[in-house]
């Protein structure tokens, strides 16, 4: 079971709200099964209301900051402005990292859910929020 720090969870929810009507995106760093920090990134997708593409230079900088904090890159996050917190066909097609946890927040239902996406197969991942 994974644990997600409450501060990171709140930042993810706020980032989704701030980016409406577009999708937001970011990555999560932590140690073992504890997701400690959220690193927000700019969504550079051509149609940001329907998909996400993290700004590459921000992604590299976030990973550098993570390493300085001795964290591993454990998760990737994006929001769905008006659909369920479940991977879309595009999300599955673009899921290149089987080891990462994919967090999806629905601004419609306010649910934050987590998944592994491996070779097109979506598996829900359980987590709980900790202080
Ligand atoms: Zn999506």
Residue 113, C-beta contacts closer than 8 angstroms, at least 6 positions apart = 85, 86, 103, 104, 105, 106, 124
Mean pLDDT of the chain: 97
CA 73, CA 125: separation in Å to the nearest integer? 16
* Distance from residue 105's CA to the centre of ligand 1 (Å): 9
Q: What is the pLDDT of residues 64-113, one digit of tens each?
A: 999 999 999 999 999 999 999 999 999 999 999 999 999 999 999 999 99
Instruction: Given CATH 3.40.140.10, say whether it is the number of domain 8-112.
Output: yes
* Distance from residue 67's CA to the centre of ligand 1 (Å): 27
Q: For ligand 1, an ion, list residues with CB under 5 A.
A: 88, 91
* Distance from residue 104's CA to the centre of ligand 1 (Å): 7
* Distance from residue 103's CA to the centre of ligand 1 (Å): 9
Assign 37 a pLDDT band (cuts: 50, 70, 90): very high
Q: If residue 85 lies in a helix (H) or strand (E), which one and from where to where?
A: none
CA 122, CA 89: separation in Å to the nearest integer? 11
Q: Where are the domains of the chain?
A: 8-112
Q: What is the pLDDT of residues 109-129, one digit of tens each?
A: 999 999 999 999 999 999 999
């Amino acid at each position: 079971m994974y644990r997600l720090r409450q501060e990171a969870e709140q930042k993810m929810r706020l980032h989704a709200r701030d980016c409406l009507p577009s999708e937001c995106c970011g990555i999560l760093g932590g140690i073992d099964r504890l997701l400690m920090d959220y690193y927000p990134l700019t969504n550079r997708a051509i149609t940001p209301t329907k998909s996400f593409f993290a700004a590459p230079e921000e992604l590299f900088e976030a990973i550098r900051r993570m390493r300085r904090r001795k964290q591993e890159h454990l998760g990737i996050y994006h929001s769905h402005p008006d659909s369920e917190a479940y991977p879309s066909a595009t999300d599955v097609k673009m899921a290149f990292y089987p080891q990462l946890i994919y967090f999806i927040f629905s601004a419609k239902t306010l649910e934050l859910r987590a998944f592994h996406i491996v070779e097109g197969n979506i598996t829900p991942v359980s987590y709980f929020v900790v202080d």
